[in-house]
Amino acid sequence: MFFRPSPALIETISELMAPLVPEKIEGMDILIKPNLLKAKEPLCTTSAPVIIATAMVLKEKGASVTVADSPAFGSALQVLRYMGVYDILKSMDVKMADLSDPVKKCLPCGLKISISKMALDADLMVNLPRLKAHCQTGVTGAVKNLYGTVPGFRKALYHMIRGRDVPLFSRMIIEIGMLLPKQITIMDCSTVMHETGPTGGKPLWLGIIASSSSAHATDTAIYKMINASPESIPIWKEARKMGITHAFCENIDYPLLSPNDVTEGRDFKLPERLDPITFNPIRFVRGRIKSALRKIAW
């Protein structure tokens, strides 16, 4: 199940990271935030080689590295173990954790939300999403991945109680990213999930890694690559409404590949229609019961 990262992948991530992180990161507490949604469906998670390669590059530079996420149901540590990543990271002296210890925050939009203290306290976050179609938000990418800093079941709870107002829900996700410490994004776009998601979609090979100091710039470049429109992706539409600079293609520079260079991106299919963002209360309760049973079994 686990494959060690190739030298080429390690070199690629090192080169992409070099202009984005401070020159001296020795001793810095760096949080790698992958997407660890579901252990048994590989396309649901950031790929194991990308996680390992990113940790290796940061460790070689002397940083203190933690890999952490907070799946809505279940445990990040369980997912890492299932992927075969846990023992490798442990041998590298990389810490692993579930993003817990909620800290209450008030967002500029007026909503109150809880964010993991570990995420808030990091010196630097490396946002490590995997590109996927999403049946509720069109696409899940860099900005959406930061929603994973909300601890555990609260993500599903916020879906249930706030998902009826799609623009406000999208703004909430955007503003969570604004409260977090400095971030860089490295997006896993090697083999992606399209047609539907964040589970149950089909694989599509793109063969690229995208990176930026801006989560919005990363997403906007990817949206252009897959020929999406703001109307099809609520978070992008709201970011443009808020006037976020990097939500507009004309404000982004491409020092390596441009979106038009990745012709495979034109084959990416978005969901035909978006489902309601709000969760059914029965589904929420069922998910909480399953999560509790997994913890007992583990």
SS3 (DSSP) at 114: strand
Mean pLDDT of 187-215: 97
The tally of domains found in the chain comes to 1
261 part of a folded domain: yes
In a domain, 44, yes or no: yes
Q: Is residue 88, in this structure, part of any structural domain at all?
A: yes
Pairing of strands 138-140, 124-128: unpaired
CB neighbours of residue 182 within 10 Å: 12
pLDDT for 271-291, tens place per residue?
999 988 765 554 544 544 444
Query: Is position 8 within any domain?
Result: no
Closest CA to 60 of 10, 121, 12: 10
Q: Which domain holds residue 99?
A: 28-275
* Residue 282 belongs to a domain: no
Is residue 2 in some structural domain?
no
Q: Which residue has the tokens 């069922």?
A: 286
Give me the DSSP letters along 39-104. Answer: TT-GGGB--HHHHHHHHHHHHHTT-EEEEEE--SSS-HHHHHHHHT-HHHHHHTT-EEEE---EEE
Provide the CA 228 distance to its chain's centre, in angstroms.
Answer: 19
What CATH code is carried by the domain that includes residue 161? 3.40.50
Mean pLDDT computed over every residue of the chain: 91
Judge whether 86 lies within some domain: yes
Per-residue pLDDT tens over the stretch 57-88:
999 999 999 999 998 777 999 999 999 999 99
The candidate with the shortest Cα–Cα distance to 186, out of 213, 220, 150, is: 213
How does residue 123 score in pLDDT terms, banded at 50, 70 and 90? very high
Contacts of 233 (CB under 8 A, 6+ apart): 137, 138, 139, 223
Cα 77 to Cα 83: distance, rounded to the nearest angstrom: 10
Please check whether residue 96 lies inside any domain of the structure: yes
